[in-house]
Copies of this chain bind each other. A is one copy, B any other.
């Protein structure tokens, strides 16, 4: 094709003109991420204008298509004067289709640049709100739908997708079967204060905070299961770690013990970090993550009993009374001493959920484990062994003042072939915040829902 057949047009294209089944010319539409494989070829890119500069004689357009950035270069002599001017006036985030040949250039981002031969302006944009200058957080959050286009946010979205795929693939490879837990639940398991209530026809329902009880039922059917979905906490907390709506994976494993799930957590985290390091070098660089910190995430992870953690905190000058739950500063103090995640086990019975199995060797504590991420990121996993005995579970439900009737179905799991079993919940956003080195969890989810933040 000649440049003349596709000179610059500044009219918006209708859908018909955009058809990919358009057969003349047959320049292939490629993704920028695969440009290195097409060096020397004439290709088409479709995307948006990220930056533009001009020397007066040469124009440099940086086009982004969602998979990467491509510098496109045109000399003044290559273009008709009106086309040169049209490009010069093009604002950030204008949509365009460009064609040209790809050539290796070590100075260009990605090592490849395009010698521009033709371009079509699909839509002009003026005054895109998010410019390279600094913006306040509230402004960026209000424009989250546009902020996602910035290189850092786009890299975080890709990192999130990779972490989730790593979680799923690891569980599938270990023979765990995905079983989706319901979101609408009739039970208010652990009190109603942090639950969202919904009118469900003539009844009331609550939005799930955990699929665990359902996973216990599924584990008795399939042996090894996990759920992966959104969970909801109506907490009036406004911290760097809290989201109202977050995603969680919850494996449950029949005949497994506390030690079995701790080993599984370790394998999962090692595999996830290794995969992100392997596949997301570009994204980690974009978010300026110190990857040497991630490279040290290898088995075995350190383990510490709650008793010893309390003693350590007190030795370090952080007064902490046995029996309480750790707060964020305590978790930070415990975990920042290590270069990899830390398992804290055997918490007091009183700080863990009613269904946690007590330690037969020390009934003050239970067979529980939290995993604290290094670098002060705090808890990313909570789990443990579940109570197997019907009698003990019934008594515990009473002690917690919960209605027996609501748990009859759950107690059925102990009536019919109860077995030791264990599981855990791992939070996507907290894990990603650690892996990506984020200051605040709000950047770890595409459209964060927080206290006073329901939009866009």
- The answer, among B15, B29, B218, B360, for a CB contact under 8 Å with A360, is B15
* Chain B positions within 8 Å of A367 at CB level: 15
Nearest B residue to A48 by beta-carbon distance? Answer: B417
- The answer, among B197, B410, B419, for a CB contact under 8 Å with A199, is B197
Nearest B residue to A257 by beta-carbon distance? Answer: B19
* Chain B positions within 8 Å of A353 at CB level: none
Asked if B247 and A66 sit within 8 Å, CB to CB, the answer is no
- Once A18-B255, A66-B221, A222-B66 are accepted as A-B contacts, the answer to whether A12 and B123 lie under 8 Å apart by CB is no
Give the distance in Å from the alpha carbon of A15 to the alpha carbon of B94 in the complex.
Answer: 63
Asked if A223 and B31 sit within 8 Å, CB to CB, the answer is yes
Asked if B12 and A389 sit within 8 Å, CB to CB, the answer is yes
Asked if A454 and B123 sit within 8 Å, CB to CB, the answer is no
Name which of A158, A218, A236 has the most chain B CB atoms within 10 A of its CB: A218
Asked if A218 and B146 sit within 8 Å, CB to CB, the answer is no
* Chain B positions within 8 Å of A357 at CB level: 15
Size bracket of the A interface: 35 or more
- The answer, among B66, B256, B418, for a CB contact under 8 Å with A254, is B66
CB of A67 closer than 8 Å to a CB of B: yes
Asked if B222 and A361 sit within 8 Å, CB to CB, the answer is no
* Chain B positions within 8 Å of A29 at CB level: 255
Residues 385 to 424 of chain A near chain B (Cβ within 8 Å): 385, 388-389, 409-410, 412-413, 415-420
CB of A116 closer than 8 Å to a CB of B: no
Q: List 11 A-B contacts (CB under 8 A).
A: A14-B360, A20-B259, A66-B254, A94-B417, A122-B420, A123-B418, A149-B220, A165-B172, A168-B168, A180-B230, A180-B247
